[in-house]
């Protein structure tokens, strides 16, 4: 059943009339309206410069860092307006956590990478730290590969392992929403499959909003998807609708590869 048709479950993320303009007057998002349900794996896809990364960055207010940009409209997470003056932005970014395309481990061991954020949050208890490390590595499907070398450098991991490490680093902070911007770019097919599999498990606990590597990847893993073009949201629907039976001609043209 289409999750959007379950009226009694309040959406995890609600976006309404969201417009975002860069200082050079480039309108990157135009009146976006979108609701994302809890435990959905929601995919934002579309050609380059369609506004996908900008939308992800607005959702945890990383976009605040761009001076002179203008934003209008509403974003609610758990019903709470994320732009309200009393919102603690650091706490918002822990709850709505971003994993970037290019994995960036911190200097230090695998264990250090996973406990850094927790220590910053004031958690010092060794047993708690170890439990969080183990659990987040298992959730990110990396535990078996690194359990015997937690205290060796994170830089020695392969690209796919670094990507899962960065995912585990977010998970250690127990977010609610995970934002993934092309998390399998640069990964080989086997690592890509491993990351995709771990996402399918993770959505049982988290809400995932992801920009995919390709239309094919979107069609493999999305519960629902939104097609973006030139900063506009063209169509939103189930995987079946978007990739087999799109209602909008532009969605169809893009999905079948008539433009890219
Ligand atoms: N920091 C910035 N300053 C000015 N304009 C920007 C900035 N970042 C993005 N833009 C512009 O905003 C628009 C949307 O870009 P965005 O990066 O969100 O697209 P995207 O869909 O993520 O593209 P890609 O698939 O290439 O990653 C583009 O026109 C882009 O040039
Ligand atoms: Mg992008």
Its sign, for the CA torsion 186, 191, 195, 196, is: positive
**Ligand in nearest proximity to the CA of 30:** 1
Compare 30 and 167 and report the one with higher pLDDT. Answer: 30
pLDDT for res 1: 47
Residue 260 lies in a domain: no
Ligand with the closest atom to the CA of 57: 1
| pLDDT at 35 (0 to 100) | 97
Q: What share of the chain is helix, strand, coil (3-state, %, to 5)?
A: 40, 25, 35
pLDDT in tens, 128-169: 999 999 999 998 889 999 999 999 999 999 988 998 999 999
Report pLDDT digits (tens) over 116-132: 989 988 999 999 999 99
- Return the DSSP state at 187: -
CB-ligand 1 contact for 53 (6 Å cutoff): yes
* pLDDT greater than 80 at residue 195: yes
Cβ of residue 62 lying under 6 Å from some atom of ligand 1 = no
Inside any domain, residue 207: yes
pLDDT above 90: percentage of residues in the chain: 82
96: pLDDT strictly greater than 80 = yes
Residue range 16-27: mean pLDDT, rounded:
96
CA–CA distance, 154 with 127 (Å, rounded to integer): 21
Kindly tell me if the per-residue pLDDT of 227 is higher than 50: yes
- pLDDT tens profile 48-91: 999 999 999 999 999 999 999 999 999 999 999 999 999 999 99
Residue nearest to atom 29 of ligand 1 (CA): 49
pLDDT of 215 higher than 80 = yes
Q: Give the domain CATH number at 109.
A: 3.40.50.300
Task: In whole angstroms, give the CA distance from residue 9 to residue 16.
Answer: 18
Q: Which residue has the least CA distance to atom 20 on ligand 1?
A: 49
Judged against a pLDDT cut of 80, whether residue 16 lies above it is answered with yes
Q: Is the pLDDT of residue 4 over 60?
A: no
Which of 18, 23, 24, 52 has most ligand 1 atoms within 8 Å of CB, for mutation? 52
Cα 76 to Cα 137: distance, rounded to the nearest angstrom = 30
User: What is the mean predicted confidence (pLDDT) over 181-210?
Assistant: 90
In a domain, 69, yes or no: yes
In a domain, residue 246? The reply is yes
Is residue 196 one of the residues assigned to a domain?
Answer: yes
Which residue's alpha carbon is at the smallest distance from atom 9 of ligand 1?
54
**Given this model, what pLDDT does residue 13 score?**
98
Assigned token pair, 212: 């995919």
CB 118 within 8 A of CB 112: no
What own/partner pairs with CB < 8 Å and gap ≥ 24 does 229-237 have?
A: 229/46, 229/47, 229/50, 229/254, 230/30, 230/49, 230/50, 230/51, 231/27, 231/28, 231/29, 231/30, 231/50, 231/51, 231/54, 232/30, 232/31, 232/32, 232/51, 233/32, 233/33, 233/34, 234/46, 236/34
Average pLDDT for 204-226 = 96
Count of domains for the chain = 1
Containing 41, the helix (H) or strand (E) segment is strand 41-45
Nearest to 77 by CA among 14, 3, 18: 14
Give the pLDDT mean for 210-222. 96
CB 103 within 8 A of CB 162: yes
The length of the chain is 260
For residues 183 and 167, is the Cβ–Cβ distance under 8 A? Answer: yes
Q: What is the residue range of 57's domain?
A: 3-255
In a domain, 73, yes or no: yes
Which residue minimizes the CA distance to atom 31 of ligand 1?
49
Of the pLDDT bands very low, low, confident and very high (cuts 50, 70, 90), residue 205 is: very high
Question: Does ligand 1 lie within 6 Å of residue 66's CB atom?
Answer: yes
Residue 181, strand partner residues: 211
Of the chain, the percentage scoring pLDDT greater than 70 comes to 97
Mean pLDDT of the chain: 93
Say which range, 2-16, 101-115, 190-204, 208-222, has the weakest mean pLDDT: 2-16
Q: State the Cα–Cα distance between residues 43 and 219, nearest whole angstrom.
A: 9
Q: Which atom of ligand 1 is nearest to the CA of 231?
A: 14
| Interatomic CA distance for residues 61 and 39, integer angstroms | 21
**Is the Cβ atom of 212 under 6 angstroms away from ligand 1?**
no
Q: pLDDT value at position 7?
A: 60
């Amino acid at each position: 059943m289409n999750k959007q048709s379950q009226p009694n479950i309040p959406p995890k993320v609600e976006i309404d009339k969201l417009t975002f303009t860069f200082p050079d007057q480039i309108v990157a998002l135009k009146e976006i309206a979108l609701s994302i349900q809890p435990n959905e794996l929601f995919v934002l896809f579309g050609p380059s410069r369609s506004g996908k990364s900008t939308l992800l960055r607005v959702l945890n207010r990383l976009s605040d860092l761009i001076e002179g940009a203008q934003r209008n409209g509403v974003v609610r997470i758990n019903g709470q307006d994320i732009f309200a003056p009393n919102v603690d932005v650091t706490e918002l970014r822990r709850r709505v956590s971003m994993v970037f395309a290019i994995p960036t481990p911190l200097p230090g061991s695998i264990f250090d990478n996973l406990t850094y954020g927790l220590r910053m949050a004031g958690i010092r208890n060794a047993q708690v730290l170890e439990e969080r490390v183990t659990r987040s590595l298992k959730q990110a499907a990396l535990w078996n590969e690194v359990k015997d070398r937690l205290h060796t450098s994170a830089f020695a991991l392969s690209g796919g392992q670094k990507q899962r490490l960065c995912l585990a680093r977010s998970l250690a902070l127990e977010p609610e929403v995970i934002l993934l911007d092309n998390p399998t770019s640069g990964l080989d097919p086997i690592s890509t499959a491993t990351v995709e599999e771990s996402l399918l498990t993770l959505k049982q606990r988290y809400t995932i909003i992801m920009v995919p590597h390709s239309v094919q990847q979107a069609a493999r893993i999305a519960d629902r998807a939104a097609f973006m073009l030139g900063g506009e949201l063209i169509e939103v629907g189930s995987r079946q609708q978007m990739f087999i039976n799109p209602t909008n001609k532009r969605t169809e043209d893009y999905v079948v590869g008539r433009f890219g």
